[in-house]
């Protein structure tokens, strides 16, 4: 008799609790469709002006992609991940109606975007795909990290080529020319993010995996990437028997890993609705040599499939 999938999920807003959540996840156990999306943080002067929008367009796009992907596969259970991905991307495109990468300084109507990771599970077969640094992993029954795919595939040396320019100019270049760029010879010229543009398909990294008994598949946004390097967190994934147990124990690990940074920022005035650049500068000033600790405190979302 086929055992039903066990699925646990968690979205953790990290420290920026007053900033709108831009992570999203959605799944349908019956059809085996799973999606996680991480809305790309907007940039002041390009996608917004003034305070950070409490209804972030990138958050809306992340939710739209997940909803579109899962809904399509639920309605078309024989579809492969690419057909369902295209449905999610069309849903994302609707969020960007009236916007364009070329309108980035015209009423701040640049494209909203998200990194995504998706999976279709049939029996114990995992068909996975991801765009940029949202990822997929496999954890063995003894808590080993057997597979982890979350590289942000890109080409063209734009990091080096834009280093000489100030932050706003680099951001403008990256969010217009570099996103989903395809060169005249058909080669990849930038990096991929979901915006509704069909060119993003060229940046998909995908694969198939046959899950062994008691192995767990993990879909995650980049905020959970460092946690998957922790043996204690991986063992939690393998031993958890319910979503409540997983969430409770995962939150304990998160609180422990963020204890130092929470202590250092306690009582400090941080405007979480300011621009990313301002927040990063303030945090570096407060944290000093412990600035790298913020990796534990980022917003994050995860789906565990057992």
Tens digits of per-residue pLDDT, 244-285?
A: 999 999 999 999 999 999 999 998 998 888 888 888 889 999
Strand pairing class (33-39; 114-122): antiparallel
Two structure tokens written together for 217 = 């598949």
- Average pLDDT over all residues of the chain: 92
CATH class for the region spanning 7-156+191-255+296-305: alpha beta
Cα–Cα distance between 276 and 46 in angstroms, integer?
Answer: 12
The answer to whether 95 touches 60, Cβ cutoff 8 Å, is: yes
The answer to whether 109 touches 100, Cβ cutoff 8 Å, is: yes
Cα–Cα distance between 163 and 168 in angstroms, integer?
Answer: 12
Single out the residue of 194, 64, 181, 75 nearest to residue 129, CA to CA. Answer: 194
The model carries a pTM of 0.94
Single out the residue of 11, 127, 144 nearest to residue 136, CA to CA. Answer: 127
Q: Is the pLDDT of residue 145 over 90?
A: yes
Q: What residue spans define the domains of the chain?
A: 7-156+191-255+296-305
Tokens 């990849």 found at: 188
Cα–Cα distance between 92 and 134 in angstroms, integer?
Answer: 16
- Provide CB contacts within 8 A for 171, sequence distance 6+: 43, 46
Q: Residue 3 has what pLDDT?
A: 61
Assign 80 a pLDDT band (cuts: 50, 70, 90).
confident
Tens digits of per-residue pLDDT, 8-35?
A: 999 999 886 678 899 999 999 999 999 9
Cα–Cα distance between 289 and 11 in angstroms, integer?
Answer: 28
The answer to whether 9 touches 25, Cβ cutoff 8 Å, is: yes
Range among 49-58, 119-128, 175-184 rated most confident? 119-128
Two structure tokens written together for 274 = 């300011």
Higher pLDDT, 201 or 170: 201
Strand pairing class (216-220; 135-139): antiparallel
Q: Residue 162 has what pLDDT?
A: 83
Tens digits of per-residue pLDDT, 224-250?
A: 999 999 999 999 999 999 999 999 999
Tens digits of per-residue pLDDT, 169-187?
A: 888 888 888 999 998 888 8
């Amino acid at each position: 008799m086929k055992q039903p999938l066990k699925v646990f999920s968690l979205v953790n807003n990290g420290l920026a609790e007053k900033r709108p959540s831009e992570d999203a996840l959605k799944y349908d156990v019956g059809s085996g469709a799973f999606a996680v999306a991480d809305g790309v943080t907007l940039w002041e002067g390009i996608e917004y002006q003034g305070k950070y929008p409490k209804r972030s367009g990138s958050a809306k796009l992340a939710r739209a992609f997940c909803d579109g992907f899962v809904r399509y596969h639920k309605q078309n259970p024989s579809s492969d991940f690419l057909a369902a991905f295209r449905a999610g991307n069309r849903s994302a495109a609707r969020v960007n109606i009236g916007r364009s990468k070329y309108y980035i300084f015209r009423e701040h109507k640049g494209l909203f975007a998200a990194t995504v990771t998706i999976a279709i599970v049939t029996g114990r077969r995992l068909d996975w795909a991801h765009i940029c640094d949202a990822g997929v992993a496999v954890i063995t029954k003894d808590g080993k990290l057997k597979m982890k795919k979350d590289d942000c595939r890109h080409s063209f040396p734009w990091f080096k080529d834009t280093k000489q320019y100030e932050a706003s100019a680099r951001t403008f270049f990256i969010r217009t020319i570099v996103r989903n760029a395809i060169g005249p010879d058909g080669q990849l010229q930038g990096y991929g993010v979901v915006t509704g543009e069909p060119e993003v398909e060229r940046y998909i990294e995908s694969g198939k995996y046959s899950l062994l008994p008691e192995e767990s598949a993990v879909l995650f946004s980049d905020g959970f990437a460092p946690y998957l390097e922790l043996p204690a967190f991986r063992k939690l994934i393998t031993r958890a028997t319910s979503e409540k147990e997983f969430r409770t124990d995962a939150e304990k690990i998160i609180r422990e890993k963020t204890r130092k940074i929470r202590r250092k920022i306690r009582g400090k005035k941080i405007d979480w609705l300011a621009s990313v650049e301002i927040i990063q500068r303030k945090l570096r000033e407060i944290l000093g040599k412990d600035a790298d600790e913020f990796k534990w405190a980022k917003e994050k979302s995860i789906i565990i499939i057992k």
